[in-house]
């Protein structure tokens, strides 16, 4: 069956739809900042589950589907994970040292009583949650990088679908679109959790949507050979999401003093993953 669309208009319209709908939803959410702040612990847990689900139900299976070997996929996942571990070390280590007013590379500052007292003095939170604060700050840039990489490959996959055949393109758009809404709501929550103001978080989502558009254009210009590039990027994107998921999930479950009912967040992590699994099964 022939659809009356060429690869360019089909790809760019599809990317606009799959990015535009979540963008609109997060824009509406950002209008209600008080409400977001109230349910942020649950939303953040949902976001951790959603990026985990995106890695295991979408990015890794897609890499295998377009012909990457399991060994290569494993190596790609590990390199994405290791890359974000390094990035977090750099970002969290930097913020942490500054929060204490000590020189960078002075990890022993914690062991002295005077610096612990200084911590309590500088911030009205227990000294042992400093690491959690520093980690939360590293979440936003990591989420942005992971999201940018993910959207780049989503744009590539949609355009590659339209280059193969309009019907393949539409099916790819459907598959990407199904998981895009829960994932973007999830990453929006992770941005806000990482200290980004809601409207700015929407702007970050807009930038990653433009990156999806660039991924599609690149594919349309280069041709289907770009699929092999997507094959390399998909496992790496999965690794970055797995890293973000475990950081946020652990922070979410360990943050006991602010929420005695923190175990309820396990359900929200499960809901985020379930939404992505459902999208993968339905699409
Ligand atoms: Zn995707």
**Integer Rg of the chain from CA:** 20
Per-residue pLDDT at 273 exceeds 70 = yes
Residue 109's pLDDT is what? 37
Q: Measure 197 CA to ligand 1 centroid, in angstroms.
A: 24
Residues 6+ apart with CB under 8 A from 259: 41, 265
- Least confident among 4-8, 138-142, 176-180, 237-241: 4-8
How many Å apart are CA 236 and CA 60, to the nearest integer? 9
53: tokens are 């689900």
- Which pLDDT score is estimated for 137? 78
Here the tokens at position 125 are 């939170």
Report how far ligand 1's centroid is from the alpha carbon of 123 (Å).
Answer: 39
C-alpha of residue 71 to centroid of ligand 1, in Å: 22
Phi, psi of 124 (to 5 degrees): -80, 40
Taking the centre of ligand 1 as the mean of its atom positions, its distance from the CA of residue 90, in whole angstroms, is 27
- Measured in Å, residue 244 CA sits from the centre of ligand 1 at 15
Task: State mean pLDDT over 94-118.
Answer: 41
Instruction: Give 119-148 pLDDT, tens digit per residue.
Output: 333 434 444 566 666 777 789 999 999 999
The mean per-residue pLDDT over the stretch 213-241 comes to 91
pTM exceeds 0.85: no
- pLDDT for 256 equals 59
Res 240: pLDDT: 95
On average, the pLDDT of the chain sits at 83
Element (H or E) spanning 212, and its range?
Answer: helix 198-222
Ligand 1 centroid to 233 CA: how many Å?
12
205 vs 9: CA distance, rounded Å: 22
Ligand 1 geometric centre to CA of 206 (Å): 15
pLDDT confidence bin for 261, thresholds 50/70/90: low
The pLDDT-based confidence of 99 (bands split at 50, 70, 90) is: very low
Q: What is the pLDDT of residue 132?
A: 67
Give the per-residue pLDDT at 253.
79
Q: Say if residues 115 and 121 touch (Cβ distance below 8 Å).
A: no
Length of the chain, please?
A: 283
pLDDT of residue 114: 39
pLDDT, tens digit (0-9, with 9 covering 90-100), for 49-72: 999 999 999 999 999 998 899 999
Asked if pLDDT for residue 79 goes beyond 90, the answer is yes
Q: How far is CA 93 from the centre of its chain?
A: 21
pLDDT exceeds cutoff 90 at 101: no
């Amino acid at each position: 069956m022939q659809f009356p669309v060429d690869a360019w208009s089909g790809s760019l319209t599809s990317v606009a739809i799959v990015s535009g709908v979540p963008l609109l939803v997060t824009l509406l959410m950002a209008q209600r900042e008080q409400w977001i702040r109230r349910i942020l612990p649950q939303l953040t847990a949902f976001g951790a589950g959603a990026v985990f689900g995106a890695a295991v139900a979408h990015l890794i299976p897609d890499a295998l589907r377009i012909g990457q070997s399991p060994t290569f996929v494993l190596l790609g996942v590990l390199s994405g994970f290791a890359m974000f571990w390094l990035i977090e070390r750099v970002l969290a280590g930097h913020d942490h040292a500054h929060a204490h007013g000590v020189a960078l590379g002075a990890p022993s500052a914690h062991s002295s009583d005077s610096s612990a007292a200084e911590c309590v003095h500088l911030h009205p939170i227990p000294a042992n949650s400093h690491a959690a604060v520093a980690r939360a700050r590293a979440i936003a840039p990591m989420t942005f990088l992971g999201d940018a990489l993910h959207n780049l490959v989503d744009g590539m996959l949609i355009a590659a679908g339209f280059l193969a055949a309009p019907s393949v393109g539409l099916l790819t758009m459907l598959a990407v679109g199904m998981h895009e809404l829960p994932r973007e709501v999830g990453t929006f929550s992770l941005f806000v959790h990482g200290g980004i103001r809601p409207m700015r978080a929407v702007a970050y989502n807009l930038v990653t949507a433009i990156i999806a558009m660039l991924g599609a254009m690149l594919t349309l210009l280069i041709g289907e050979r770009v699929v092999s590039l997507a094959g390399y990027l998909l496992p790496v994107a999965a690794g970055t999401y797995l890293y973000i998921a475990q950081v946020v999930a652990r922070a979410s479950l360990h943050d006991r003093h602010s929420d005695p009912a923190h175990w309820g967040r396990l359900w929200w992590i499960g809901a985020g993953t379930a939404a992505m699994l459902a999208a993968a099964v339905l699409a």
